[in-house]
Amino acid sequence: MTLNYKPQGVCVRNIQFKLSGDVVSELLFEGGCDGNLKALVKLLDGKLAPEIMAMFKGQTCGKKPTSCMDQLVIALEEARKESA
């Protein structure tokens, strides 16, 4: 199932991904720091949601209290709750 999440407090306008069990795939960020996010997408494809969540929960961006990756964690948390 393809999921969409509208992040808050960051430059990214939408985070889209597939979650099969705990495996994250087809991750796509709309907006944000294009090069950095494309690189992270390549590194995270096929990784387990709990692993991604442990790495990036609470990650900030500059003076912002959150980041694109922290917002991904929130999206994964919500998706896992809905599928439980």
Q: Annotate 8-60 with DSSP letters as a single string.
A: SSSS--EEEEEEETTEEEEEEEESS-HHHHHHHHHHHTT-BHHHHHHHHTT--
Tens-level pLDDT at each residue, the chain (84 residues): 799 999 999 999 999 999 999 999 999 999 999 999 999 999 999 999 999 999 999 999 999 999 999 999 999 999 999 887
Contact 10, 32 (CB under 8 A): yes
Total number of domains in the chain: 1
The pLDDT value given to residue 84: 75
How much is the pLDDT for 1?
A: 79
Residue range(s) defining the domain that contains residue 52: 2-83
